[in-house]
A and B are shown apart, each in its own frame.
Chain A
Amino acid sequence: MELMVAFAVGIMTTTGVFLLLRKRTFPVILGLIMLTYAVNLFLFAMGRLAVDQPPVIQDQGNGYADPVPQALVLTAIVISFGTTAVIVTMALRAYLEANTDHVDLESSEVGGLPR
């Protein structure tokens, strides 16, 4: 089972990194989202896996999963929504202003620092 989770993390990372290296804003955003999934799952897995042991105190519980990574990841999910939203908005605004969604500067702009 652990192998499957590790496999999922690996696959999502691969997809995320590949998309991140594209040249247009949209795939880059998707790559970022993918990478977020991978990282969140990875962080979550740091508490080890447990089935049927939610960290909710019960009278006849059969053990609890580690709640600390869960709390961390919960806020991480919400925050990554916030940052993704910022990136998306930046991409949108950049496209509206510059009329291109290319992520690189044009060669004429490279190194052309304002005097």
Chain B
Amino acid sequence: MRLVLIVMLPFLGAHLPMLLARAGRRACAIATGLTTLTAFVLLLTHGPLVLAGEAVSYYQSWIPQLGMDLALRLDGLGFLMAGLILGIGLLIIIYAYFYLGSDEPIGVFFTYLLLFQGAMVGIALCDNILALLVFWEGTSLASFLLIGFWRHLPEARQGARMALVVTGGGGLALIAGMLLLGEIAGTYTISEMVGLSGLVQTSELLPLALLLVAVGCLTKSAQFPFHFWLPHAMAAPTPVSAYLHSATMVKAGVFLLARMWPILSDNPWWFYLLTTTGVVTFILGAVVALFKDDLKAMLAYSTISHLGLITMLLGLGTVAGLVAALLHLMNHAVFKGALFLTVGIIDHETGTRDIKRLGGLWWWLPVTGTVALMAVAANAGLPPFGGFISKEMMLEEVGHITWFGYPRLLAGLATLAGLFSFAYSLRFFIKVFLGRTPEGMVRPHGPSWGLAIPGLFLAMMALGFGLYVEQLASPIIRAAFWGALGRETAVDIHLKLWHGVNTPLLLSGFAFLAGGGLLITHRGWERLFALFSWLDFKAAFDWSVSWTEELCKRVVSLVQSGSLSRYLVWMLVATLLLGGNAFFTSEFQWGTREPLPINGMVIVLSVLMLFTCWFTIANCGNRLLSLIAANVVGLIAAIGFIYFSAPDLALTQISVEVVTLILVLLALYFLPKETVVEGTTLKRGRDIVLAVLAGLAMFGLTWAVLSSDGPKLLADYFIEQSKPAGGGSNVVNVILVDFRGFDTFNEIVVLAISALIIYALLDGAMHGPAAAKLDGWEHDMPRSPEKHPTMLISFTRVLLPLALMVGIYMFLRGHDRPGGGFIAGLVVTIAIITQYMVSGFQWAADRISIDYHAWLGWGLLLAAGTGAAAIVLDYPFLTNAHKHFDLPYFGELDLSSALVFDLGVLMTVVGAVMLALANLSRLGRRAERAAAKAVEATTSEQHGD
């Protein structure tokens, strides 16, 4: 359980800085720091067990169908990685608090940082590769947010985007590779996969899987040719660069390679792919770093170079190579972190990171200078720092390797890279801290303790890992080594600072001297390097991005032409083809159900329907006519419902018809009143053919069902249980409010949502261009001279209480006779809307003070509350409570909670429909006033004449 907490704490804590943003910077930082500290302490409590070679596991089934489980496993390797993430994270939080300006949103920053931390710890501890992939992408996203933290800077946005595209794209390759590996091994659990490496090695798919996994890891760890995103990620605030882009996130790639090491490393593909990529990156990074004037860019290339070194070591496939890789992973995190923090201080205090505009800083910043000296020495691999040990181990190991048939080639290349590493490290220190102070450089103050301490601490660690390697580094590296192998081995590890004078030391010595020589002649080399400035990876990246964008645009404009009717035609054709295919390939036979006898009325109605349908189309030009005709079709359907024993449906259909008619009429007031015939004859012909085909299909489908007998599975149950279980005789209503109450609840939620959408759309029309159009409204149809006919007014006012009575009656009897909340709601709505229509909106609104928003809300609350009450009484949600009342003295009280639920339905329906209609007429009144004014103006003008 503690294990889960380590992963989850950063995610949970990520909410705190956001919530505390108003409580001040300090509160944010303390909450973030405490979260990380707690996770770190929790991790350390596992320390003794893990360092002894044990692994702690936690398993929680997640999506077993996919083989995805939350399987956590803390072994030595995970411990090393999580320790770096949380430990350095703690220092970074302190540093960032002092580094970021007081006007910057530090709460947001810390939230991103914790999100990253959680995802990263997840990678370190995950034992299930599918779950690991989720965390993996999480780090890419968090890195995107952090690089783009200064979103006002274009280079920050570009850098963030580039990092996301490269690492996210690599993540996709990784997903594919991991899925392949999982398929091969038959398990997605890494610790199980380790035991199956023999099976994996013999698979034909292995090279493909390996390549995909490698692409994922190499993009993340910024290896050539994917390295270019890392220098651009330096647009992030320096604490982020120190944390994500040198100490932890870019290590995720090499970490995963170390995890895969026992499964995949015994393979020529692995060897050649990784050693080659590694050594090329190692050299390239070191060379470019020597010629970068921006300190952060220099450190970025230095990081790329060191990651190349680790990749190369992992690629060797030897045990000693693995140990050296793990040791260097730890060392590099420490000393490169210190270097970044130093550069951050320089930037913060002098306002520049340009090496040519800095110099002699030692005299102003002695503490920072000391930190820089220690870190730089470790970076260059000088004794007695930790970096020296891992570099010597590397040189020793590559000396034994034959690469592409050449026994000493790899060692030579590694020495060459080491030479450049010396040179750029020296250049950094000499140029920035010693030497002449250039003119115009700001004289820096000493940094505050919060900026100085984290770097100093890391530099001391770098020293400690060298001087006390046996005590400090060995236990961790030994455990990590066991963890990476997935088992304990007889091979023991002895890390020593001093191995005497041997080949690696001589190689280092040579590299040191030659590096010094290179630095002295730097000016000349710089000119040579400038000749290669046309090699611009960013330009190539930008070009490929814009090319892809152009391609996508073409494809989209082809498919997404912006023509609604074209989309519909495609959908129709596809549906018809699918349905037709199913029909013509099946052995379908018409049913033999006895048809009901035909009577005269039905024939008349059918003919009427045919006629009105034709009328609707034929009078398409006159919108008012076609609307009325369409409504007649609806009414005929309602008559059909009555005839075929569905009184509830008929009542609903009729009342909905009325409301829909009013709604569309209100809208039609604003729309053009006529439709011109458009489109070629060919297109009309196409539409007719499609429409007829669709009609035929629906006719056939309906006929096929109606002519056959089907099983009445649910009907009998509901009819039987309606009275005893639901307490009502109207089965339809009982189904609505009781048996399928949850469905009904969802339906009224949908209704409420659509009412709110309508409100938003119409309220928005009261501002902007739409409102301007309303204010300039002119009538496009002749107006009736009598606005509100007196006869009608008197009549409808008498009718109002009667109509409301009908509504209440419909509601109360709904459970036993046709009626219910939906129908009653519609009847009440119609009663109210009649007043609005006949007497004018203002008159009605002054007298009917109903807040329709409130009705909507209360209706939903009432319905939900009835359901929730059942939960409180320990019944399932929405259980009808009619039989649960058995009061003393009163006896069985025949009061159904379904009635309350139905009241909720009623209120929602009234609220929703009235909200829609009232807001439409609000628009109407505005236009009306404008039009009246216009008429007044013209008449007064005429009078003036």
By a beta-carbon cutoff of 8 Å, the part of chain A in contact with chain B is 1-15, 17-30, 33-34, 37-38, 40-42, 44-58, 64-68, 70-71, 73-75, 77-79, 81-86, 88-93, 95-97, 99, 101, 103-107, 109-111, 113
Contact = CB atoms under 8 A, between A and B. Distances in A.
Contact of B732 (A11, A70, A83): A70
Contacts of B757: 86, 89
B646 A68 contact: no
A71 B923 CA distance: 35
A53 B645 contact: yes
Given A81-B659, A105-B563, A110-B557, A96 B606 contact: no
Contacts of A28: 564
29 contacts: A8-B637, A11-B610, A12-B637, A12-B695, A13-B697, A13-B698, A17-B572, A21-B569, A21-B691, A24-B675, A41-B637, A46-B705, A55-B645, A55-B719, A56-B730, A66-B715, A67-B715, A70-B732, A74-B822, A81-B659, A82-B750, A82-B751, A82-B912, A85-B663, A86-B758, A89-B920, A93-B762, A96-B770, A97-B770
B761 interface: yes
A92 B613 contact: no
B553 A89 contact: no
A56 B736 contact: no
B731 A56 contact: yes
Interface string B773-798: 11000000000000000000000000
Contacts of A7: 606, 699
Given A8-B606, A77-B652, A101 B672 contact: yes
A22 to B, nearest CB: 7
B648 A30 contact: no
B671 A78 contact: no
Contacts of B603: 4
B556 A12 contact: no
Given A13-B698, A78-B822, A79-B750, A19 B617 contact: yes
A99 B730 CA distance: 49
B705 A45 contact: yes
Interface string B728-745: 011110011000100110
A45 B729 contact: no
A13 B637 CA distance: 13
User: Which of A21, A49, A106 has the largest count of B CB atoms less than 10 A from its CB?
Assistant: A21
A49 B679 contact: no
Given A15-B616, A37-B634, A89 B916 contact: yes
Contacts of A38: 698
Task: Tell me the interface secondary structure of chain B in the complex.
Answer: helix
Interface string B599-626: 0001100100110010011001001001
B562 interface: yes
Given A26-B675, A46-B705, A66-B712, A9 B649 contact: no
A93 B671 contact: no
A92 B765 CA distance: 9
A77 B758 contact: no
Interface string B298-339: 000000000000000000000000000000000000000000
Contacts of B613: 11-12, 14-15, 34
B714 interface: yes
A14 B703 contact: no
Q: Which 10 A-B pairs have the closest CB atoms?
A: A111-B557, A10-B699, A105-B562, A14-B695, A96-B770, A1-B596, A82-B754, A57-B729, A18-B691, A2-B706
